[in-house]
Amino acid sequence: MASLASALGSKPGKDPLIMGIVNVTPDSFSDGGRYVDVVDALTQARKLVSQGANVIDVGGESTRPGAVPVGVEQELDRVLPVVEALATDGVLVSIDTSKPEVMREAVYAGACLINDVFALQQPGALATAASLQASVILMHMQGTPPTMQDEPSYKDVVMEVRSFLSRRIEACHAAGLDRSNLLVDPGFGFGKTREHNCALLDRLGQLAECGAPLVVGISRKSFVRALARSCEPNDIKEVSALLALLAVERGAAIVRVHDVELTKKFLDIRHDLQSFSPIH
Ligand code: 7PJ
């Protein structure tokens, strides 16, 4: 079976991976409950794979401010059938959760990557991830989802995010996680104003200095709307894909997106540009 490490590769200039987002939740940021049903979520996931997604990120709890918290059993009921079916298809599956029980069951069901917006800081998460030896995305967030957008504040957002991610890498290493299994993510929109998000994207290269592959999730976030100067779904989609391309140019190894087809189109053009260039 394909592994995340081999898909990511280690050569500089290696093609980035596209992570397709599948929410099995009634109240996620953008899907508005369309994929509540496990069957629908699976159909959506398979569609994203056919469009070129290399990894599918399956989430059962929304992190949107005001979202209703979900219990362990309910989250497991939502995500496990989807994880299991996709893993059986041979798809690389990421589990978007902060709960140790969900991490464990999802990895047992075939997930190869844990995507934790709390960077393994919730009780029991670090020890559980260490015992599973799966790959982990450590994401930065200032505050917690209910209030994180109230008054985000930084002296230098890029340096503070970088220092947090480096500290989490060290904490994970100390807990027994292999450094080669760690990925980092600045957490666009998680306790950040539009200016903070723009600074992070502009200086993304400085985050690569953490030494771990960079994951970037910008797709359809509210600062994309601001940059698009529009709320039209097509404009949001195009600007999301354009920003994913910019993130890759600045060092992102994985882009987490809703619109796989358009993102893939842009990344394929980048790939062709590189491969047709005689000096590359
Ligand atoms: C992110 C995430 C992100 C990672 C969400 C949304 C909000 N995980 N989960 N990075 N965002 N690693 O998709 O709009 O940016 S939920």
Residue ranges of domains in the chain: 17-270
Mutation choice for ligand 1 from 56, 117, 142, CB with most ligand atoms inside 8 A: 117
Ligand 1 centroid–CA 217 distance in Å is 5
Q: Is 46 a catalytic residue?
A: no
Residue 6 burial (10 A CB sphere; 0-12, 13-18, 19+): exposed
**188 Cα nearest atom in ligand 1:** 15
Residue 54 is encoded by which pair of tokens?
């290399």
Residue 64's pLDDT is what?
A: 77
Find the helix packing angle between 233-249 and 260-276, rounded to 10°. 40
- Kindly indicate the confidence band of residue 11, based on its pLDDT and cuts at 50, 70 and 90: low
Q: Please name the residue whose Cα sits nearest to atom 11 of ligand 1.
A: 217
Ligand 1 centroid–CA 280 distance in Å is 33
Paired with 157 in beta bridges are: none
Question: Which residue has better confidence, 32 or 134?
Answer: 134
pTM: 0.94
Coil, helix or strand for 123?
coil
**187 Cα nearest atom in ligand 1:** 15
Most confident of 14-28, 114-128, 219-233: 114-128
Q: Please name the residue whose Cα sits nearest to atom 9 of ligand 1.
A: 117
Residue 2's pLDDT is what?
A: 66
Superfamily of domain 17-270: Dihydropteroate synthase-like (3.20.20.20)
- Ranking 43-47, 121-125, 148-152 by mean pLDDT, the lowest is 148-152
Q: Is 14 a catalytic residue?
A: no
**30 Cα nearest atom in ligand 1:** 14
**What Å distances lie between residue 123 and 34, 231, 256, CA to CA?**
31, 38, 26
